[in-house]
Amino acid sequence: MDDAELFLGLGLLAIAAINSGALLYALHKINPPSAKQGSEDEEEEENESSEEADEADEESEAETSAPTEFKRPTTKAGILAWRQRIIEDLEKERGTRVLTMIHKKELWTEPGQDSEIGIEDTETILQKMRKIPPDTPVDFIIHTPGGYALAAEMMAMAIKFHPSKVTVMVPFYAMSGGSLMTLAAGEIRMEKYSVLGPVDPQIPTPDGMYPAGSIATLVKTKPIQNITDRMVIMSDVANLEIENAKAFVMWLLEGKMDKEQAERVADFLARGYMSHATPITLDVARAIGLNVVEGIPDKVYELFKTFTFTGQPYRRH
């Protein structure tokens, strides 16, 4: 009798244990851990190792282990989470919202796919800009070889229209269309060695891409009857494009300097006096009257570590 009762008690206990174990296992199967909301702390620790680089949930844990033995995430989701964490830190540090337009090779970039400013960037940035409260300052990290002019112009407009201060950070380079966007900023942060570039339009012709300034001078250097019809027509287009670029730069600089100076800067950057790859360094940018501050926060460099620095080089500009 005594033994029986003891057995009964132990039996019940065992059944309950097995039961809950089985249920837990079944749940684990049904509902993969990535979908969980982070409410069960114990569970989380158990699963941590299996899905290290999965979701934003694990960010906090990864952070604590980062300084000692940090493992570079190798999945897209992992890299994006890592990047997101750095951006959030930077936002906290500076009390701003951080936007990025970084055109670099990613692990998931397909071969031959050059990243440059496209209308997709514009749509993304405009959508993000819309959600930023008007009184929140914005830090915009730009790293780009340039690209589609209209797309860059739209983003520059968004920067100019933001009611609070917009700081554009150029840790390495922001050429052509990217430079146009920096001109819209209230403050430009650069390093001694980072560069901007001229913003003169490039005109596509059947023989390739030519700077608008060069096409415009062609008709002055060669008798017009000896120039091909297409080039004569394109020279007209080139003049219009230069006018447009200059007017746009002047509009961007409105309120940042007096009109006369803005016109000189616009002429300097958009007329095509210099090669499209000419570096406009910090000193030059400062000399022409842009509001440049030297120095980039360390977190930005940390952000760049999330990108691979290998892969095919970009084509020459």
Partner 1 sequence: MQELDILLAVAIVVVASLSSLTNLFVIRRFWQIPQTPNPATRGGDQENEEGNEEDEDETEGETDQAPSKEAILARRAQLVHELEEERGSRVLTLIHRKEPWSTGDDEPEIGFEDSEQILQWVRETPPDKPIDFIVHTEGGLTFAADLISMALRYHKAKVTVMVPFYAMSDGTYVVLAADEIMMEKCSILAPLEPLIDDMPANSVISILKRKPIETISDRTILLAESARMEEENAKEFVKWLLIDHMNEEQATQVANFLVGGFMASTTPITLDVARAIGLNVVEGVPEKVHQLFETIEFTGGPRGEKQYQ
What are the Cα distances from residue 17, in Å, to 10, 242, 253, 294?
10, 78, 72, 64
66 binds partner 1 (CB under 8 A): no
Place of tokens 């209308």: 119
Q: Give the residue with the Cβ less far from partner 1, 121 or 292.
A: 121
Q: How many residues bind partner 1 (CB under 8 A)?
A: 94
Q: From residue 65, how far is each of 54, 68, 72, 185, 306 by CA, in Å?
A: 16, 6, 12, 37, 17
* Least distance between partner 1 and beta carbon 196 (Å): 12
Does 177 contact partner 1 by CB under 8 A? yes
312 sits near partner 1 (criterion: CB under 8 A)? no
Answer whether 154's CB lies under 8 Å from 147's CB.
Answer: no
Kindly tell me which of 94 and 128 has the beta carbon lying closer to partner 1: 128
Burial class (CB in 10 A: 0-12, 13-18, 19+), 112: exposed
Whose tokens are 């297409």? That residue is 230
Position among 29, 35, 67, 310 found at the interface with partner 1 (CB under 8 A): 35
Binding test (CB under 8 A) with partner 1, winner from 16, 66, 287, 293? 16
Reported residue count of the chain is: 317
- Out of 25, 27, 93, 254, point to the residue binding partner 1 (CB under 8 A): 27
Binding flag, residue 128, partner 1 (CB under 8 A): yes
Q: Which of 45, 46, 93, 120 binds partner 1 (CB under 8 A)?
A: 120
Query: Pick from 126, 222, 275, 308: which binds partner 1 (CB under 8 A)?
Result: 126
- Please name the residues in contact with 179: beta carbons below 8 A apart, sequence gap of 6 or more: 146, 196, 197, 198, 199, 269, 280
Q: Does 73 bind partner 1 (CB under 8 A)?
A: no
CA torsion angle for 132, 134, 137, 138 (degrees, to 10)?
40
Regarding 6 and contact with partner 1 (CB under 8 A), the answer is yes
Angle at 185 (CA atoms; ends 181, 187), nearest 5 degrees: 135
Find the shortest distance in angstroms from Cβ 113 to partner 1: 6
Q: Helix (H, G, I), strand (E, B), or coil: what is residue 76? A: helix
Site for partner 1 (CB under 8 A): which residue of 105, 143, 271, 276? 276
Segment interacting with partner 1 (CB under 8 A) among 17-25, 185-193, 286-294, 300-308: 17-25
Residue in 102, 218, 227, 257 binding partner 1, rule: CB under 8 A: 227
Chain residues 79-108 in contact with partner 1, contact rule CB under 8 A: 80-81, 83-84, 87
Q: Is 240 in the site for partner 1 (CB under 8 A)?
A: yes
202 Rama class: left (phi>0) / alpha (psi -120 to 50) / beta: beta
Contact mark string toward partner 1, 145..164, x via CB under 8 A: xxxxxxxxxx--xx--x---
Q: Are 204 and 169 in contact (CB under 8 A)?
A: no
Beta carbon of residue 309, minimum distance to partner 1 (angstroms, whole number): 22
**Contact between 258 and partner 1 per CB under 8 A:** no
